[in-house]
Structure 1
Amino acid sequence: MNDYSWPDGGQRLAARSREAWRATVEKLPVGTAIAGEVVGRQPFGIFIRIDGVPDAVGLAEITAMPREATLPPMGSRIVGTVTSHTEHNHQVRVRLGHW
């Protein structure tokens, strides 16, 4: 087993995030401080379950992390800031603060 994973129930989560996209963008505008839990890890970054917005899919890419940083482990609590929204896959892009 490797250290990477997709979020559990990824297909259902993707469908819910698509249905809730407009509400998610309204609730999480660019610049919003967020907290959440790491629910998936890939070489390119982490997927985040954002507190208070259960249908949102947060993504913090490795390119948005400090150079010396490593990916936080599954289940880690993180904080960060919303930097953008990607309409085509209904993801909230996040720059991590600390974990």
Structure 2
Amino acid sequence: MDEYTWPTVAEVPAELLHRRWAATVAALPLGASVTGEVIGRQPFGVFIRVDGVPDAMALAEITVMPQGMGLPELGARVIGEVIDHAGHNHQVRVRLLECAAPAG
């Protein structure tokens, strides 16, 4: 298995992200605490399915991870804080605070 993956279209339908963007921003304001599961992994960060906001796509970039935290694995549970809303690609930017290994 490749160590890097993109979220699948089934996990993150782009049209749904677009239609639900205003609701996503309202549900996840700046400073909000979020928890979720890593569903995609790239050298620059991880994509997260946010608990309680299934139509949201979050991205935690490696540049804002705590020092010493490695890139979380697929399936890992993470906790973070909303630091930005990237409207051009409908992503909620998150600073990771904690990470737990994937179950199983």
TM-score normalised to structure 2 length:
0.89
Greater fraction helix: 1
Say whether residues 1:28 and 2:55 are aligned partners: no
Q: Which runs of 5+ in 2 are unaligned?
A: 100-104
Q: Give the counterpart letter for 2:68 in structure 1.
A: E
Distance 1:60 1:10, change over 3 A: farther
1:1-99 superposed matches below 5 A: 1-9=1-9, 13-99=13-99
Opposite residue 38 of structure 1, the aligned amino acid is V
Q: Distance in 2 between matches of 1:9 and 1:88?
A: 18
Evaluate the alpha carbon distance shift between residue 80 and residue 68 of structure 1 in structure 2; reply closer, same or farther with a 3 A threshold: same
How far residue 18 of structure 1 moved from its aligned partner, in angstroms, is: 0.8
Amino acid of the structure 2 residue aligned with 1:45? G
Identify the range of structure 1 (76-85 vs 10-19) with the bigger mean alpha-carbon deviation.
Answer: 10-19
CA root-mean-square deviation: 1.4
Give the drift of 1:3.
Answer: 0.2
Which AA in structure 2 matches 1:29? Answer: P
- Structure 2 counterpart of 1:5, which letter? T
Q: What SS is found at the alignment partner of 2:13?
A: helix
User: How many Å separate the matches in 1 of 2:69 and 2:36?
Assistant: 18
Identity among equivalent positions (%) equals 54
Count of aligned pairs between the two proteins: 99
| C-alpha separation in 2, matches of 1:27 and 1:83 | 14
Instruction: Check 1:37–1:12 CA distance in 2 against 1; reply closer, same or farther (3 A cut).
Output: closer
